[in-house]
Amino acid sequence: MTDYRENPVREELIAYEAALPSLLQQHHHQYVVIRGTNLVNYFDSYEEAIDWAYEAFGLSPFFVKQVSEEENVAHYIRDLGTCLS
């Protein structure tokens, strides 16, 4: 198991890893929406997952991850703040 102590989505990643064996059987290659420790919905595309999650949770925290045995790292950050030039 990976050490997520300093990760802002720690709870979500731990929930994902705990559920991964069953997720791989039932939702392989789909995208799971996770809020806290709850795996709340599954979608065939990232776009569907993120659209649904924003509709359901607004700007409250949530996490979207593709179900896969391989770790595909892609980070999308909603709030980057002000760009200083």
Least confident residue range of 16-20, 38-42, 69-73, 80-84: 80-84
Please give the model's pTM, rounded to 2 decimal places. 0.76
29-65 confidence digits (pLDDT tens): 999 999 999 999 999 999 999 999 999 999 888 999 9
List, in sequence order, every residue forming a beta bridge with 38; answer none if it has no partner: 35
CB 28, CB 19: distance < 8 Å: no
65-79 confidence digits (pLDDT tens): 999 988 766 655 555
